[in-house]
A and B are shown apart, each in its own frame.
Chain A
Amino acid sequence: MMAQLTRAERTNAMLITGIGALVGLAMAVAGRGDGFGAHGWVVLAFCALLFFIVAGALEAPEPVEDRASAYYDDPTRVGILLALVWAVVGMGMGVWVASLLAWPDLRFDAAWSSFGRLRPVHTSGVIFGFGGNALIATSFHIMQRTSRARMPNQVLPWFVLLGFNLFCIVAASGYLMGITQSKEYAEPEWYADLWLVVVWVAYFILYMRTLARRNEPHIYVANWYYLSFILVVAILHIINNLAVPVSWTGAKSYSAFAGVQDAMVEWWYGHNAVAFFLTTGFLGMLYYFLPKRAERPIYSYRLSILSFWGIVFFYIWVGSHHLHYTALPNWVQNLGMTFSVMLLVPSWASAGNALMTLNGAWHKVRDDATLRFMMVAAVFYGLSTFEGSFMAIRPVNALSHYTDWTVGHVHAGAMGWVAMITFGSIYALTPVLWRRETMYSWKAVEWHFWLALAGTVIYVFAMWNSGITQGLMWRTYTESGTLAYSFVDTLIAMHPFYIARAFGGLLFLAGACICLWNVVMTIRHVPVHVSARDYPTDSEANEPALPAAE
């Protein structure tokens, strides 16, 4: 990997990691006795490890080939592997917390293994660790390919990728130590948030500079989706995490907002994170890898652009539907509800566009599990956006809110849409990145597909049943006007569904493990295959397509 870096670049990398290590040491010393200090040691260890990796290869031969004539794929490769490692970790945590709900004894009486600390490790692990790394890695790939230009810099992509992983590690280790600011999907404390801003600005600069170098005049639509993901997440992150630290050498901070204002900002952020982290970024993935894999252009390119602007405009005010029947003013709740319902239009436009692209290539979907991952992802995207709009309607929300239905909805989106499209993209990308003819085992991909699908379906059905049961039990009154069921009654009713949920999650985790194994085996055992193009294009898809929808 160092072979692609010049000596000057290696020196720079050492300088950056060295400074990072010093900062870590300073944090460790200043914050001793606090979680802040412990995080100092984490930073120090992370940076020192990288420092020595670079230092060890400082005198290695410099790149001889003309670097401008090849894409820079090393960070993409590492990013894909990191995403898969995080997938196994995050989903493993998910299975654990799911099991905790069914069998509470599984926490072994340790403080760090309490449900409240493990759950954010699961959510951050899969959203940021798995999803974030996959987004960064695929964006590196897509921005170079669609711009037909190499990235402008060799150190910056490493900084972005590894800096982001440092953030994830600090976040996850912090949760286990009890460091959290208690904001959903924004739990890390102020110093981690600040670090993420630095990484994110670097990411934005890298993306824009690559686009500026492009040799292909047209900016492919996937880039717009990725750019909105980077830009909007940055703004949301900054505003939601405005906080005052108790001390510059301590982990604890207090939010700049209070009460319902804080809740509004949190869900303005929270749902836009769903929009711009879990939707637009992955739609960018879909719009690149689905046509590539199906070897057919997107059904309506115009529609993909239109739905981009639709999603960008509609999503922004949806968040208040998370606060139905709270202290939030009624009209703000209605506003969130209205926009949530309208959001269905651009969402279904995207899902329909993806499925129509496959229309006419169903034989490929039948034969190719990779493409099937993407097809199922589009279907689940359509399903869960419909479900989301439906659940945002206040009377529906009265039943669903605070029940497992919400959990089921989130996982229909996260497992069915986000993870499926990511796995599909990884299977499409791995042979290209490592210049292999094919994946190591197609059977394993098939296994993964069916495990993932079965896991998702079991999970989602369990949670639908559990959630609706729970909601109905909570609102059942006796003739004398008292509640018919106690809280414990509902827990007993939900127990079988919790076991089913843990089982579904286990299947999904098994699929992710197979994926990691398959990718590693592909790298290690499939012979290198140099092709003129990323994909051989010998199919009938080259036939002219009349402008059907254009």
Chain B
Amino acid sequence: MTGPVGFSSPLARAEVLAARRPDGQGRSRLLLSVPGIRCGSCVAAIERTLSSRADVASARANLTLKRVSVVLESADADPSPVIDALTALGFPATPVEPGAVEADDPAGRELVRALAIAGFGAMNIMLLSVGVWSGAEGRLRLGFHILSALIALPVVAVAGRPFFRSAIAALRAGRMNMDVPIALGVSLAVLLSLFETAQGGAHVFFDAAVTLLFFLLAGRWLDHLMRERARSAVTGLARLSPAGAMVRQADGTFAYLPLADVRAGDVLSIAEGEPVPVDIRILDGHTDLDRALVTGEAMPVPAGPGFEAEAGTRNLTGTVQAQALRSADASFLAQMIGMQAAAEGGRGRYVRIADRAARLYAPVVHVAALATFAGWLVATAGDWQTSAFVAISVLIITCPCALGLAVPVAHVVAAGQLMRRGVLMKDGAALERLAEIDRAVFDKTGTLTTGLPRLGPATGDAQLAGAARALALRSRHPASRAIAALDCRAPEATDVTEVPGSGVEGTVDGKRARLGRADWVGEIASVPADAQSPVFGMADGGTLSFALEETLRPGAAEAVRRMTAGGLGVTLLSGDTAARADLIAGRLGIGDVRSGATPAGKIAALEEMRCAGGHTLMVGDGLNDAPALAAAHVSMAPGSGTDAGRTAADFVLLRDSLAAVPETWTLARDTARIVRQNFALAVIYNCAAIPLAVAGLVTPLVAALAMSGSSILVTLNALRLNRGAPAPARMQDAEAVPA
């Protein structure tokens, strides 16, 4: 149910053809998302296999992005055999639509470039400064100062751009952020140093200005790296929603159209295993539809002509022809995205801790500097040069280097920790919000449960059960797969056909047998009137009714228990029926259950909690959860969920177990504590530094030492988050060695 688009389907083949791009040299390129690439030998195996093919000019796998880039020998080659070869190798692949290709990350590249320039400048200026501090005097010192100025001016102009831009934008909007004191401090330091150099003075702050930029850029780059990695990892996950549909043409054949070109009224062909691309009404054919991701219903529903289904529903068993009811941008998926955008208001109001600190911090520092200037002016009877020097040195020494690093470094360390536990964090702010929650809200289907049913305690004839299993083995309906997992001997079944929307039919032990809907099985065998579906029946034989129940996701019970023990309220918020929701809530010990919730109902429930002053964590996977994920204070989605859910959520759980939810919550609180400590360190540092600076005792050497010292201190403090970390995965191969 949660796998990528089955490649056997005509839609998938058409999508592959559409994803191919000519490269202008008679060849074509294809970019594939291959989530199965997990190690170097996967890379080697893929590249070896593909490169040895005659139709492939070159192939390159990317382990970080889990992608394979293939260059095909001809511009109009069918790439399907390449994908088949990959699948045969054990790496199911889906094409990446051209819009998603942003491999080159311009913002990150600009940051790295700025960082490299700042590093180069800092090193060389520091060298000259160390010379001056060590006692280079006279003309030599002047020469070093001039050389420093020549290096520092272009470096600050280039490497300082991100800060200047952000500070100007903030000031224009009448806001205050951390970049304002940074930009002010750096520019004043450079101006003051230029003035001192021109005067032949002893103290210049070029090194402080450039080193400050270097440290801050390092923090910013780490932050960017963390988000970029999460982003690419999310895009690397299997894509569930289709990029196009098979649409009937005037001549009656079906052809592939990109989703944007599908109009209301078009007739679509939807093969088994494919997702429904837009909202539809079935015209012809029978099937079973899995609506778990759309409505939260756990069990597939049979569907026939006249049945309406939302985009995102998965077609399980039969091929149907259907009429598009709405175009893609008016379909269910688009509505969900619209609701999601509207619901995000609450999160947008959240102000990050660093910016809250800046609002307090900047005015204090700037007032202190002004007061210093005024004080010295009075004390020195109008020596404005000395006064300005001291006032600016106050600004330089209080430049929020440690504050700028306090948050991102802690978040980056935490993100690494989460990655090791199989959790992707998209943004550091989410971690701040997660530390504040007082209630966890779980979706049911696909979140607390796996979405795949399993058999309840079965009673009945073992012989019949075996015969039922024989039929079930031949069907891909989830209920059949649950029955196929029975531990009993299955006799040979012949003439097996799947009747979409009804069940499976075949001959077992020479008798006609059916497995499926109760009324349909009742046509050949006597089925009790109150029998639950699915039922197995044989002509002239007995019948057997199977009770299906939902499978709990591993770690679900533990997650609920630990979150409750941690003092959080836990709520089950499901779109499914009250009976099913209560059953699961009972098994997990959740008291607060809200069932039958529509997407809007889910938002309303969360809004109600928010108005009551609560901060909620929403954990959900489906399309219907996506708006709620955005509306919650903070949200998580299992990696098996829909694209929309993963996009909306702040955290994506890459592993099956829900135990990662309380672990992430614990780590978020630890991180918040570290961040608070870092702020405390920075405040203590400033309390010590400001009086020194006001007294005019800060030389460039003191400034450089203080700045590096406080930055290293907060970094080391943040690294404490690594304590008690699970051992890196590589440790495992030590255990795997045969004794």
Contact = CB atoms under 8 A, between A and B. Distances in A.
Nearest to B135: A331
Nearest to B37: A544
A162 to B, nearest CB: 36
Given A548-B728, A548-B729, A542 B130 contact: no
A537 B733 CA distance: 14
Contacts of B736: 540, 543
Interface stretch (A181-189, A360-368, A382-390): A360-368
B732 interface: yes
A536 interface: no
Nearest to A548: B728
A296 B737 CA distance: 14
Contact of A542 (B39, B123, B136, B729): B39
B411 to A, nearest CB: 16
Interface in A122-136: none
A1 to B, nearest CB: 31
A313 B123 contact: yes
A543 B731 CA distance: 11
B134 interface: yes
Nearest to B738: A540
A217 B730 contact: no
B130 A339 contact: yes
B38 interface: yes
A542 B42 CA distance: 9
A338 B734 CA distance: 41
Given A317-B127, A548-B730, A543 B419 contact: no
B37 to A, nearest CB: 9
Given A363-B734, A543-B736, A537 B135 contact: no
Interface in A517-548: 537, 539-548
Contacts of B416: 548-549
A11 interface: no
A476 interface: no
Interface string B708-739: 00000000000000000000111111101100
B623 to A, nearest CB: 30
A12 interface: no
Interface in A305-322: 309, 313-314, 317
A332 interface: yes
Nearest to B734: A360
Contacts of A338: 130, 134
B420 A546 contact: yes
A300 to B, nearest CB: 11
B375 interface: no
A524 B134 CA distance: 60
Contacts of A114: none
Chain A residues touching B, range: 20 to 34
Contacts of A309: 119
Contacts of A539: 733
Given A361-B733, A361-B734, A334 B41 contact: no
A330 interface: yes
A541 B127 CA distance: 43
Nearest to B38: A544
B733 A360 contact: yes
Contacts of B728: 359-360, 545-546, 548-549
A544 B39 contact: yes
B161 interface: no
A546 B416 CA distance: 10
B41 A546 contact: no
A55 interface: no
A59 to B, nearest CB: 39
A275 to B, nearest CB: 15
A335 interface: yes
Contact of B737 (A339, A363, A542): A363
A297 interface: yes
A333 B133 CA distance: 12
B40 interface: yes
Interface string B106-134: 00000000000001100100010011111
Given A360-B730, A361-B733, A548-B420, A542 B131 contact: no
Given A313-B123, A545-B39, A334 B130 contact: yes
B40 A542 contact: yes
Contact of B127 (A339, A359, A546): A339
A148 to B, nearest CB: 11
B60 interface: yes
Contacts of B130: 334-335, 338-339
Please indicate which of the listed interface residues B40, B119, B120, B737 has the most CB atoms of chain A within 10 Å of its own CB: B40
Given A363-B737, A544-B38, A331 B131 contact: yes
Given A544-B38, A544-B39, A334 B734 contact: no
Contacts of B133: 331, 334
Interface string B133-158: 11110000000000000000000000
B43 to A, nearest CB: 11
Contacts of B40: 297, 542
Nearest to B45: A542
Contacts of B135: 329-331, 334
A543 B733 CA distance: 8
A27 to B, nearest CB: 43
Given A360-B734, A361-B734, A545 B729 contact: yes
Contact of B41 (A329, A360, A542): A542
Contacts of B731: 359-360
Given A313-B123, A546-B419, A548-B728, A541 B733 contact: yes
A486 B736 CA distance: 63
Contacts of A314: 123
B56 to A, nearest CB: 15
Interface in B18-46: 38-42
Contacts of A542: 39-41
Contacts of B420: 546, 548
Contacts of B42: 544
A216 to B, nearest CB: 9
A335 B119 CA distance: 18
Contacts of A361: 733-734
Contact of B60 (A217, A317, A333, A363): A217
B229 to A, nearest CB: 8
A348 to B, nearest CB: 14
B123 A332 contact: no
Nearest to A215: B58
Nearest to A547: B419
B85 to A, nearest CB: 20
Contacts of A330: 134-135
A19 B702 CA distance: 63
Contacts of A363: 734, 737
A335 B736 CA distance: 51
B729 A544 contact: yes
Contacts of B123: 313-314
B655 to A, nearest CB: 11
A134 to B, nearest CB: 27
Contact of B134 (A296, A334, A359): A334
B599 to A, nearest CB: 35
B723 to A, nearest CB: 15
B730 A545 contact: yes
B423 to A, nearest CB: 12
B127 A543 contact: no
25 contacts: A296-B730, A313-B119, A314-B123, A317-B127, A329-B136, A330-B134, A331-B132, A331-B134, A332-B131, A332-B134, A335-B130, A359-B731, A362-B734, A363-B734, A539-B733, A540-B733, A542-B39, A543-B729, A543-B733, A544-B38, A545-B730, A546-B419, A546-B728, A546-B729, A548-B728
Interface of B: 38-42, 60, 119-120, 123, 127, 130-136, 416, 419-420, 728-734, 736-737
Counting from the closest, the 8 A-B pairs by CB-CB distance are A334-B134, A331-B134, A544-B38, A540-B733, A548-B728, A331-B135, A544-B39, A542-B41
Given A360-B731, A548-B730, 4 more contacts: A334-B135, A360-B730, A360-B733, A546-B419
